[in-house]
Amino acid sequence: METTATSNREPRPGWPLVLWYAIRPRTLPLSLSPVLAGSAVGWVESGVLRLDVTLVAALVIAIIQIGTNLQNDAADTLNATDQAGRVGPLRVTERGWLTPRQVLTGAFAAYGVGLLLGVYLIYLGGWPIVVLGLLSVLAAFAYSGGPWPISRGPFGELVVILFFGLVAVGGVAYLYGAPITWKVLLIALIVGVPAAAVLLVNNLRDRQSDARAGRRTLAILLGRERALWLFGGFLLFVTVGLLVVATAGPPWVGVALGLAGVPLGVRVWRALIHAEEPATYNSCLARTALFQLLVTVTMTLGLVLAVAVG
């Protein structure tokens, strides 16, 4: 687990560690999971394995997420959301290791590299990919930037479901040449909803400091108890969604293997109900991200195995 920030000025460590904290590589499975799921359903629906699409899409989505992480780091320091004594994982600008300008420069460079790599996907997919790509970069920028940052309001979880689920999974499946069926869309939601749960846990932990900074996140508006019930609702949706897709018959029955990840989500929910200390919330945050990855990997593995034996 990442170290918790305790002051806003400390000696800067070596550059590898600074970059590690700046780009937040532990969050990247949230962007790689939809690529994995989209590739699996695209392969099943189209009958064609496109490893080039999988690799380039993974790079593009991961790089855009890195840009979002960097911009969020700088923006939360500039708007005084991150202050000395924050209870979450440390931020390099709040620590004074890098200036907001340096971090924002890195963010915009990441967006540029992501768009450049996306040219190959545009070549394959045409104008629909242009639209999805531009919307994704715009959403990444608007998450912490612009006059109405998404991260400061109640729609963050919805945006995560849209872009880490429907757009990413559906976009990769489309690039595989697969039709966008109800099964593809439901699997996209099964991937996107746990990603939104990660944000919900993050905002649950920070709800008091966020409220002081003028934020109106969903966790603040709902309150702790109802936000915990929403987390439980997310778990229920994933469980029911897997069962519904499995009823579509071979090879879709294989996605039922994703249910192997649900017990972890339930354990996280129980821990959240009793969470009081920041360290407990941080542990739940990491385990919720692991829950999303575990559901995606087992669901995808089950689908692949079902195709192989079918």
Write the pLDDT tens digit of every residue in 37-51. Answer: 999 999 999 989 999
Say yes or no to pLDDT of 54 above 90.
yes
- Name the band, by pLDDT with cuts 50, 70 and 90, for residue 9: low
Say yes or no to pLDDT of 55 above 90.
yes
Count of domains observed in the chain:
1
Find the domain containing 209 and state its range: 15-309
Find how far residue 173's CA is from the centre of its chain.
18
pLDDT at position 82 is 55
Residue 3 located in a structural domain: no
- Name the band, by pLDDT with cuts 50, 70 and 90, for residue 134: very high
Q: Output helix, strand, coil percentages for the chain, rounded to the nearest 5.
A: 80, 0, 20
Q: Is the bond preceding 34 in cis, omega lying within 30 degrees of 0? A: no
Residue 2 located in a structural domain: no
Say yes or no to pLDDT of 79 above 50.
yes
Residue 66 located in a structural domain: yes
Percentage, residues of the chain above pLDDT 90: 71
**How many whole angstroms separate alpha carbon 158 and alpha carbon 164?**
10
Mean pLDDT: which of 13-27, 87-101, 226-240, 296-310 is highest? 226-240
Residue 46 located in a structural domain: yes
287-291: long-range contacts (C-beta < 8 A, 24 or more apart)? 288/194, 288/197, 288/198, 288/201, 289/26, 289/27, 289/29, 289/30, 289/198, 290/264, 291/194, 291/197, 291/261, 291/264, 291/265
Residue 1 located in a structural domain: no
- Name the band, by pLDDT with cuts 50, 70 and 90, for residue 85: low
Residue 20 belongs to domain with CATH number = 1.10.600
Two structure tokens written together for 50: 């496109």
Q: DSSP string of 217-256? A: -HHHHH-HHHHHHHHHHHHHHHHHHHHHHHTT-TTGGGGG
- 159-179 average pLDDT score: 96
pLDDT at position 90 is 78
Asked which of 75-84, 145-154, 214-223, 295-304 is least confident by mean pLDDT, the reply is 75-84
pLDDT at position 1 is 33
Residue 51 located in a structural domain: yes
**What residue type is assigned to position 173 of the chain?**
A
- 180-187 average pLDDT score: 95
**How many whole angstroms separate alpha carbon 300 and alpha carbon 180?**
17
